Structure 1
Amino acid sequence: MRIPPSAAPHRYDKAPVVRVPGTHPAWRGDGVWAALAEHADGGTIVIDTYPASDVDAYVKEIERALPAATVIDVERAAAHSPERIEALIGDNLTDDRVFGIMSHRTLDELYDPERLADVARQVAGADGQVVLVGWGATLVPVPAATLVLADLARWEIQQRYRAGLANWRASNGSDDPLRKFKRGYFVEWRIADQHKRELFDRIDFLLDANGSVADAKLVPGDAFRAGLATATKGPFRVVPFFDPGVWGGQWMKEVCGLDHAKENYAWCFDCVPEENSLLLAVGDEVVEIPAMDAVLARPVELLGERTFARFGAEFPIRFDFLDTMEGGNLSLQVHPLTDYIQRTFGMHYTQDESYYLLDATDDAVVYLGTKTGADREEMAADLRRAERGEAPFPVEQYINAFPAKKHDHFLIPAGTVHCSGADSMVLEISATPYIFTFKMWDWGRVGLDGVPRPIHLDHALANVQWDRDTEWTTEHLVDRVETVAEGDGWREERTGLHELEFIEVRRHWFTGPVDHDTGGTVNVLNLVEGSEAVVESPDDAFEPFVVHYAETFIVPAAAGRYRVRPLGDEPRHATVKASVRGTETR
């Protein structure tokens, strides 16, 4: 194997939990329905689900567990027809395989108000207990004796799409998973997050909808809210997920303790709250919720007042892994300029990013920026020939290839052509709109599904900044390390990002404790050197938090001052820390 010795096995935690303080009950299986019935005391139980939940299975399970109750599937009873919904959201979906336009619809627009009223009359006239279940169950105008939110993680939804699940009120189960993901990303999840955000303070119970319905887990709403409060007071980690790819490598198998029987792992989302989950330990049970719930429910505590004012309830910083060690090159790509993403897709900021090299072999490279003197018409023509399969694209003729070694940091503002080469382990530090990648050339490959991966040349060529040539790229985007402070046993360096990007990255080398301060804005860190460290509060504002090599962790704005202290025996440790520029408390 060509994997460097620095990738030796470590103690990477694949299932970090947030322990909920206090004493809270938790239920599982049949105990869930008994607890809800007892709490409702004969009144109406309303279970509002998330799109992609198995509502049919819930109806059957509740009818089995509560045979005297009337169970109503609100989606079947009152949602608009699939044809009407298609007409309402068609403009957001577009004909493109990957890209749509962000929806600003609300859930009530997908329901027939007269049929909702009919359901309410059915509840009023029922003999005995009624259970309403489905996405939008709370739209039925009846008082709820017991209100439940059945929440579902994005990664679980994606697995269900891949397994053949259709989108909400659609018959597209056999469609391309990318198209189903697009409908979720641009429409369903936008609507669903805004809907459930209004329920957080009202729910009596949180139902973990990620596992089988027969083995569902339930915790009180107070435990759910206490878990979010705990997470946004001190350091925490989201649950990473790993996925294979056509260019995937072997490094994460070694470091993260993954299944060696799998061919490769390409991606790890280690801090993308819109995609990742939180695990809340409530008593002896652990429930999974979307990490996005913390952003939606407690944005000021998590993000900081100034960052929240700038971005709203969105988490603007993303850390993820790109593993090409013993793999292949990523696709040659470019990200949209802010004006373009706003006009074309309805997003208000774009995917500026950077590559931080956690590891690399001696011959690793990063492709970055166009070569000085490259002819744009000839390059575009060669790209289109490659797209048609007529000839490979001669990357080295047009794009710079910079040698890449461990701890190098390459800055990639939107509009810059780029690509991580083979035999690298990249920690990608970027803004969050991760879906907006315009592939220009994919080395003649097909995806794992055997279908050519999407190429978006028209989008890409409309965004390439041709003046980012060899000289400009070398001066502005490569090796921009600057020492900004140092003390006894530590040194702080500014490694980026570029002045066009809103994220600031600082690296700390340390052999002893290093003091940090969130400055009123969220911090995201990764332990990029050393086996273990502990994050502590000098004010005892939170419990000590242990992190391991390559783990990404979030320090909420509300944490304030904190200290990172090495625990391992290595001669030195290092973290990289990202924050939003210009949002620090002054």
Structure 2
Amino acid sequence: MNNKIDTLKANVITIECYPTINEEELMNKIIAPLNPSLMIDASELFYGVKKINNMIERNITDDRIFGLMSHHSLSDFIDPQHANILEKEINLKLHNNERVIIYGVGASLVYPADLLIYADLSRWEVQTRYRSGKYSNWQADNAGEDSLRMIKRGYFFEWRVADKLKKVLFNKIDYFLDTHIEGKPKLIDGKSYKEAMSQITKQPFSLVPFFDPGIWGGNWMQEKFNFRREEINLAWSFNGVPEENSLILNFDGVKMEVPANNLVFTQPLALLGERVCGRFGAEFPIRFNFLDTIGGSNLSLQVHPKTDYVQEVFGANYTQDESYYILEAHDHAKIYLGVKNGVGKEELMTQLKIAANGEGTFPDKELIYQQVVKKHDHYSIPGGTIHSSGANSVVLEISSTPNRYTFKLWDWDRVDLDGLPRPVHLNHGEPNIDITRDEDWVKKELVNPFEVINEAPGWQEERTGLHESEFIETRRHTFSVPVMHENHGSVNVFNLVEGEEAIVESMDHSFAPFIVHYAQTFIIPEQIKEYKISPYGKSLGQTIMTIKAFVR
């Protein structure tokens, strides 16, 4: 790296950082060995905490969970006086041919770089660092604050402005720095990194899953995958969410972890396809994750917003429509979906408010439709539908990407793992509850909407959700022989929901065979138009199942 710097006569070395990078590690591992004459912390460029908080007050709000999507840029927060002072300091050093290093969030805005390094993190690692109590939000000085408030500030403001700058810089970056594992930063040159991004879109791939405990969480994932058994439980597995998950890149045996969002930012057409990209831009619109309540308890009773509400109130582009595919279920496991016939909005809200005020418990058995679920059931849940997954099941949740807009209506009178009451949002929930979604409507529209659309000896294809009001379509394939697939003009997201192993193969040998295992989520980029999936290994001669999702 020093040779590269000398070749470029790099007197200004800039290390642009995603929020919550360990800057002490940067100093020890990267900056100090370069022996600069001047080091500048990019935070010096910007206004102070109080002024920035005033500027983003409308976005952050007083709510613990919800804010309003920011359309700011980092440059909006530059203090012109500070910028002039820093420019003079840098020019003085450059006049004497001395080396300057600028580091931190927004470092690339301080002065034109001779060499640009980008130190990166995925959003799940950012959230883990918030919870540690050791890190602050950008320009906030709030380490140790309620992590839900920190995540809210990240989601609605901090990550937006950081991603906006990253997109502008991407083709100018000389080196990318992986900082996911503290104490072990890894550096790769920009050319190799960009070639890797392009290569990923030519083959099937999986993301690095993230697992998280929760107050209602279960133990199925711990036991099934023999993983993190020391945890109290594992409620969630986010295993198909490029917005938050990461990718592992292998450079001649050196493995590097990178935010999967970078793939979406840099390869949107190849990954998503022209139709999907034209509709959503550089944003991955489908998400897969697991909800594990086996040995746990019910999720909160909740509702997601309708599209017009999420646009008008939060500034989001679209809402979180979803479905629950039942991956596993014990006897008497149930789903809560819609209201019982004859229940009115006034009666429902009266009882929810009584429960929220601690004046009584909510009579869910009298008001909410409940149905016993079994393995491989599928339930559509369009925005506006009251729902909850009950105890003793594992749900593959297939949904559109926005994941912050869950309005809790009742939470079984619980506190969270942090000892704080789980927040409910009846003010948002009430205008979004569609009271016409009662037992009769739910049974007709949302319960196991399976329709056989193709079959031949050894295989069957069924259309199964999501509801016609939702933009995601799902198909279930049940097969003991190879199945040919087309991509329907969209990126395809899969999960192997039955069977030990399967293999994905190219029709023209353009990618190497890709082996997947039970419950693994994997993504087929849109530029792969056709492919084949077959039982493999332990599943040879067996009947297995996949769930496939794409944008209609």
So what's the TM-score if we normalise by structure 1? 0.91
Counterparts of 1:337 and 1:111 in 2: how far apart (Å)?
A: 37
Distance 1:475 1:138, change over 3 A: same
Counterpart position of 2:246: 277
Counterpart position of 1:339: 308
Residue 558 of structure 1 aligns to a residue whose secondary structure is coil
Counterpart position of 1:509: 478
Residue 178 of structure 1 aligns to a residue whose secondary structure is helix
Counterparts of 1:401 and 1:575 in 2: how far apart (Å)?
A: 27
| Aligned counterpart in structure 2 of residue 267 of structure 1, from 231, 236, 243 | 236
Distance 1:86 1:489, change over 3 A: same
For 1:519, the aligned partner's letter is H
Counterparts of 1:263 and 1:481 in 2: how far apart (Å)?
A: 36
Q: Deviations over 1:44-91 (max 9, x none)?
A: 211111111133442354453123442211222x11111111111111
Task: Return 508-517 or 110-119, whichever deviates more.
Answer: 110-119
Counterparts of 1:342 and 1:279 in 2: how far apart (Å)?
A: 34
Given that 1:476 and 1:498 are in contact with CA atoms closer than 8 Å, whether structure 2 keeps it comes out as yes
Counterparts of 2:511 and 2:48 in 1: how far apart (Å)?
A: 50
Given that 1:104 and 1:190 are in contact with CA atoms closer than 8 Å, whether structure 2 keeps it comes out as yes
Counterpart position of 1:6: none
Percent identity over the alignment is 48
Counterpart position of 2:164: 194
Counterparts of 1:136 and 1:161 in 2: how far apart (Å)?
A: 20
Counterparts of 2:69 and 2:359 in 1: how far apart (Å)?
A: 35
Are 1:81 and 2:38 counterparts?
A: no
Are 1:351 and 2:320 counterparts?
A: yes
Distance 1:110 1:223, change over 3 A: same
Given that 1:150 and 1:208 are in contact with CA atoms closer than 8 Å, whether structure 2 keeps it comes out as yes
Distance 1:35 1:477, change over 3 A: farther
Q: Report the Cα offset of residue 430 of structure 1.
A: 0.5
Are 1:205 and 2:175 counterparts?
A: yes
Residue 200 of structure 1 aligns to a residue whose secondary structure is helix
Alignment size in residue pairs: 546
User: Matches of residues 167-316 of structure 1 in structure 2 within 5 Å?
Assistant: 167-212=137-182, 214-316=183-285
Q: Structure 1 stretches of 5 or more lacking a match?
A: 1-32, 582-586
| Aligned counterpart in structure 2 of residue 468 of structure 1, from 437, 444, 463 | 437
Counterparts of 1:250 and 1:162 in 2: how far apart (Å)?
A: 22
Counterpart position of 1:440: 409
Counterpart position of 1:26: none
Distance 1:492 1:342, change over 3 A: same
Counterpart position of 2:85: 118
Residue 192 of structure 1 aligns to a residue whose secondary structure is helix
Counterpart position of 2:546: 575
Given that 1:240 and 1:269 are in contact with CA atoms closer than 8 Å, whether structure 2 keeps it comes out as yes
Given that 1:59 and 1:71 are in contact with CA atoms closer than 8 Å, whether structure 2 keeps it comes out as no
Counterparts of 1:177 and 1:513 in 2: how far apart (Å)?
A: 47
Counterparts of 2:408 and 2:56 in 1: how far apart (Å)?
A: 26
Task: Return 341-350 or 486-495, whichever deviates more.
Answer: 486-495
Counterpart position of 2:291: 322
For 1:176, the aligned partner's letter is D
Given that 2:36 and 2:100 are in contact with CA atoms closer than 8 Å, whether structure 1 keeps it comes out as no
Counterparts of 2:424 and 2:382 in 1: how far apart (Å)?
A: 20
Task: Return 353-362 or 48-57, whichever deviates more.
Answer: 48-57
For 1:119, the aligned partner's letter is L
Counterparts of 1:246 and 1:270 in 2: how far apart (Å)?
A: 20
For 1:99, the aligned partner's letter is F
Counterpart position of 1:104: 71
Given that 1:411 and 1:478 are in contact with CA atoms closer than 8 Å, whether structure 2 keeps it comes out as yes
Are 1:70 and 2:73 counterparts?
A: no
Given that 1:116 and 1:139 are in contact with CA atoms closer than 8 Å, whether structure 2 keeps it comes out as no
Given that 2:68 and 2:313 are in contact with CA atoms closer than 8 Å, whether structure 1 keeps it comes out as yes
For 2:89, the aligned partner's letter is Q
| Aligned counterpart in structure 1 of residue 105 of structure 2, from 132, 135, 139 | 135
Counterparts of 1:480 and 1:163 in 2: how far apart (Å)?
A: 43
Distance 1:68 1:370, change over 3 A: closer
Counterpart position of 1:546: 515
Distance 1:479 1:199, change over 3 A: same
For 2:466, the aligned partner's letter is L
Counterparts of 2:25 and 2:514 in 1: how far apart (Å)?
A: 39
Residue 343 of structure 1 aligns to a residue whose secondary structure is helix
Residue 531 of structure 2 aligns to a residue whose secondary structure is strand
| Aligned counterpart in structure 2 of residue 360 of structure 1, from 288, 312, 329 | 329
| Aligned counterpart in structure 1 of residue 496 of structure 2, from 520, 527, 532 | 527
Q: Deviations over 1:513-561 (max 9, x none)?
A: 1111113310000000110011111111211111100000010101111
Given that 1:318 and 1:429 are in contact with CA atoms closer than 8 Å, whether structure 2 keeps it comes out as yes
Counterparts of 2:3 and 2:544 in 1: how far apart (Å)?
A: 49
Counterparts of 1:169 and 1:57 in 2: how far apart (Å)?
A: 19
Structure 1 vs Structure 2 CA RMSD: 1.4
Are 1:383 and 2:390 counterparts?
A: no
Counterparts of 1:569 and 1:234 in 2: how far apart (Å)?
A: 23
Distance 1:560 1:74, change over 3 A: same
Residue 179 of structure 1 aligns to a residue whose secondary structure is helix
| Aligned counterpart in structure 1 of residue 525 of structure 2, from 548, 556, 559 | 556
Given that 1:55 and 1:73 are in contact with CA atoms closer than 8 Å, whether structure 2 keeps it comes out as no
Q: Report the Cα offset of residue 146 of structure 1.
A: 1.3
Counterparts of 1:390 and 1:163 in 2: how far apart (Å)?
A: 35
Task: Return 545-554 or 108-117, whichever deviates more.
Answer: 108-117
So what's the TM-score if we normalise by structure 2? 0.96
Given that 1:117 and 1:141 are in contact with CA atoms closer than 8 Å, whether structure 2 keeps it comes out as no
For 1:123, the aligned partner's letter is I
| Aligned counterpart in structure 1 of residue 20 of structure 2, from 52, 67, 74 | 52
Given that 1:517 and 1:561 are in contact with CA atoms closer than 8 Å, whether structure 2 keeps it comes out as yes
Q: Deviations over 1:307-336 (max 9, x none)?
A: 011011111101000000111011000000
Counterparts of 1:116 and 1:555 in 2: how far apart (Å)?
A: 46
Counterparts of 1:63 and 1:138 in 2: how far apart (Å)?
A: 16
Given that 2:10 and 2:115 are in contact with CA atoms closer than 8 Å, whether structure 1 keeps it comes out as no
| Aligned counterpart in structure 2 of residue 405 of structure 1, from 374, 380, 383 | 374
Q: Deviations over 1:148-205 (max 9, x none)?
A: 1111111111111111121111122131100000000000101111110111111110
**Higher relative contact order by CA 8 Å / sep ≥ 6: 1 or 2?**
1
Q: Report the Cα offset of residue 408 of structure 1.
A: 0.2
Q: Deviations over 1:317-363 (max 9, x none)?
A: 01000000111011000000000000110001000000000010121
Given that 2:31 and 2:101 are in contact with CA atoms closer than 8 Å, whether structure 1 keeps it comes out as no
